[in-house]
């Protein structure tokens, strides 16, 4: 099952694009192998609006969002998760408006154990005014959104549905152009797969991720992502069977088309899959199931 990837998107940095009568988007100038063209900040409603993911701490981008909402009032700021390309813009935006922030919680808040180490691309300063949970509704003057908790990419990842338009804002959980990086310990493969299954039970017409174009066939896309992770597991099992026990040796065998500078990110995703295989008792680690452990079949 091939993932129906799409990357094409018409936009201009600093300009607002009208996506539907009730949805606009401004893209920040932070292109990278992880963000594609950059962070897409969504504006929902007219007159009294919500902003989803103000993006990085980039004053020019916040100016563009303010320009796009000139003469309107920002009443809500929604955050999908606390990576530095999503939430730090909240602090800048709040210098110009008094809208409260909504999110699952601060970085790492979806992890239950204590003392976990947290990766460096996280925004540790963000703490939402309102901690929202799965199924919560957030009501504006003429719009209403529903919170869809989707841990996996991060433990606090939240998607937001706009039921009136059957649209789901998927953050970094499901993107049209790429799979998501799942980096333990805050990233968790078991929960990510559960969060994909959760979307299959929904009835969204399409998804708008934070990066890149819309996902036009949501269920086909999600099913392909699930199958892709299953294929990766099979690759890992074959590597181990063939005597490749270290994750750093598995990566070049598994990611034959990936440029080498992306190997460290790929290793995090392999680790996530390996941890999930260990949890299910299919493989065992010599010691803690980390990046440098040796793995063998159980
Ligand atoms: Zn992210």
CATH number at residue 279: 1.10.10.10
Residue 10 within a domain: no
Residue range of the domain that includes 245: 225-297
- pTM of this structure: 0.94
Residues 86 and 229 in one domain: no
Output the CA 290–ligand 1 centroid distance in Å.
Answer: 21
Residues 202 and 244 in one domain: no
Output the CA 286–ligand 1 centroid distance in Å.
Answer: 30
Distance CA 104, CA 85 (A): 17
Residue 263 within a domain: yes
Output the CA 55–ligand 1 centroid distance in Å.
Answer: 11
Residue 96 within a domain: yes
Output the CA 82–ligand 1 centroid distance in Å.
Answer: 7
List the chain pLDDT tens, one digit each, 298 residues. Answer: 789 999 999 999 999 999 999 999 999 999 998 899 999 999 999 999 999 999 999 999 999 999 999 999 999 999 999 999 999 999 999 999 999 999 999 999 887 544 444 445 899 999 999 999 999 999 999 999 999 999 999 999 999 999 999 999 999 999 999 999 899 989 999 999 999 999 999 999 999 999 999 999 999 999 999 999 999 999 999 999 999 999 999 999 999 999 998 898 889 999 999 999 999 999 999 999 999 999 999 9
Output the CA 265–ligand 1 centroid distance in Å.
Answer: 12
Residues 83 and 137 in one domain: yes
Residue 11 within a domain: no
Output the CA 168–ligand 1 centroid distance in Å.
Answer: 16
Output the CA 153–ligand 1 centroid distance in Å.
Answer: 7
Residue 117: its pLDDT value, please? 41
Residue 3 within a domain: no
Output the CA 244–ligand 1 centroid distance in Å.
Answer: 30
Output the CA 3–ligand 1 centroid distance in Å.
Answer: 20
Pairing of β 16-20 and β 295-297: unpaired
Residue 195 within a domain: yes
Residue 6 within a domain: no
Output the CA 63–ligand 1 centroid distance in Å.
Answer: 23
Output the CA 45–ligand 1 centroid distance in Å.
Answer: 25
Residue 262: its pLDDT value, please? 87
Residues 26 and 66 in one domain: yes
Output the CA 242–ligand 1 centroid distance in Å.
Answer: 33
Q: In the chain, how many domains are there?
A: 2
DSSP string, 147-214: EEE--SSSTT-EEEEEGGGTEEEEETTS-SSSPPP--TTTS-HHHHHHHHHHHHTS--SEEEESSSS-
Residues 136 and 261 in one domain: no
Residues 92 and 206 in one domain: yes
Residues 155 and 251 in one domain: no
Distance CA 220, CA 233 (A): 20
Q: Which of 224, 255, 288 marks a domain boundary?
A: 224
Q: Which of 224, 246, 268 marks a domain boundary?
A: 224
Closest of 232, 242, 249, 257 to residue 291, by C-alpha: 249
Residues 109 and 98 in one domain: yes
Residue 112: its pLDDT value, please? 57
Output the CA 24–ligand 1 centroid distance in Å.
Answer: 21
The residues, any chain, with a CB within 8 Å of residue 128's CB and separated by 6 or more, are: 79, 101, 102, 103, 104, 105, 106
Output the CA 243–ligand 1 centroid distance in Å.
Answer: 33
Output the CA 142–ligand 1 centroid distance in Å.
Answer: 29
Residues 263 and 175 in one domain: no
Residue 236 within a domain: yes
Residues 131 and 107 in one domain: yes
Output the CA 81–ligand 1 centroid distance in Å.
Answer: 7
Residues 138 and 158 in one domain: yes
Residues 32 and 137 in one domain: yes
Output the CA 221–ligand 1 centroid distance in Å.
Answer: 19
Q: Which of 177, 202, 224 marks a domain boundary?
A: 224
């Amino acid at each position: 099952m091939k993932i129906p990837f799409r990357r094409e998107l018409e936009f201009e940095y600093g300009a607002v694009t009208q996506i539907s009568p009730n949805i606009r988007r401004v893209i920040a100038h932070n292109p990278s192998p992880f963000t594609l063209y950059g962070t897409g900040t969504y504006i929902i409603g007219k007159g009294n609006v919500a902003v989803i993911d103000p993006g990085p701490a980039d004053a020019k981008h916040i100016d563009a969002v303010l320009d796009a909402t000139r003469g309107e009032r920002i009443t809500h700021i929604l955050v999908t998760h606390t990576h530095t390309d999503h939430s730090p813009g909240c602090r800048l935006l709040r210098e110009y408006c008094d809208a409260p922030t909504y999110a699952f919680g601060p970085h790492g808040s979806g992890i239950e154990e204590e003392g976990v180490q947290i990766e460096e691309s996280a925004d540790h300063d963000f703490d939402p005014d309102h901690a929202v949970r799965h199924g919560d509704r957030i009501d504006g003057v003429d719009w209403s959104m529903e919170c869809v908790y989707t841990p996996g990419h991060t433990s606090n990842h939240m998607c937001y549905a706009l039921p009136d338009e059957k649209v789901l804002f998927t953050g970094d959980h499901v993107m049209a152009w790429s799979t998501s990086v799942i980096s333990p310990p805050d990233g968790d493969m078991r929960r990510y797969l559960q969060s994909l299954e959760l979307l299959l039970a929904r009835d969204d017409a399409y998804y708008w991720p934070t990066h890149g174009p819309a996902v036009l066939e949501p269920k086909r896309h999600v099913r392909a992502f699930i199958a892709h992770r299953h294929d990766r597991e099979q690759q890992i099992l074959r590597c181990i069977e063939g005597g490749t026990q270290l994750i750093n040796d598995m990566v070049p065998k598994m990611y034959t088309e990936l440029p080498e500078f992306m190997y460290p990110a790929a290793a995090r995703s392999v680790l996530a899959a390996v941890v999930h295989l260990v949890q299910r008792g299919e493989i065992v680690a010599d010691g803690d199931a980390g990046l440098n452990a040796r793995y063998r079949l159980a």
